[in-house]
Amino acid sequence: MGTTISGVPVTLWAVTKYQVYVVGLSVLFSWLFNGTGRSILLVILLHVTVNADLVTLFFPGLTASDMRAIRELSTIPLWGVVLMLIAIYGPGRLSKRRS
């Protein structure tokens, strides 16, 4: 199910939290891809930064539980950005066709 719920029992709540996070990232990746002239390189770079787990680089003493909490809480600002992008640019920027 991914690193967000690794190490904990797989429950409906854990899967739901992970799916909300992944859908938010998917919207962000789609907006970036379509808004940059379909540049897959920029989407790859964004994906790498998401996977890089830079928090552990700067705070090596964090436990797995701390990291899980940080990932879960990062869903809130992620969806704030997603909703702001949709409000500013409209949902048409997330599809193949420009509206």
On whether residue 38 sits in a domain, the answer given is yes
pTM here? 0.79
**Is 17 a member of any domain?**
no
Q: What is the pLDDT of residues 5-61, one digit of tens each?
A: 566 788 898 889 889 999 999 999 999 998 888 899 999 999 998 888 777 788 889
C-alpha dihedral (35, 41, 47, 52), degrees to nearest 10? -140
Look up the domain containing 40 and give its range.
28-94
Residue 67, in any domain of the structure: yes
| 10 found inside a domain | no
Q: Determine, yes or no, domain membership for 59.
A: yes
Does some domain include residue 19? no
Q: What total of structural domains would you count in the chain? A: 1
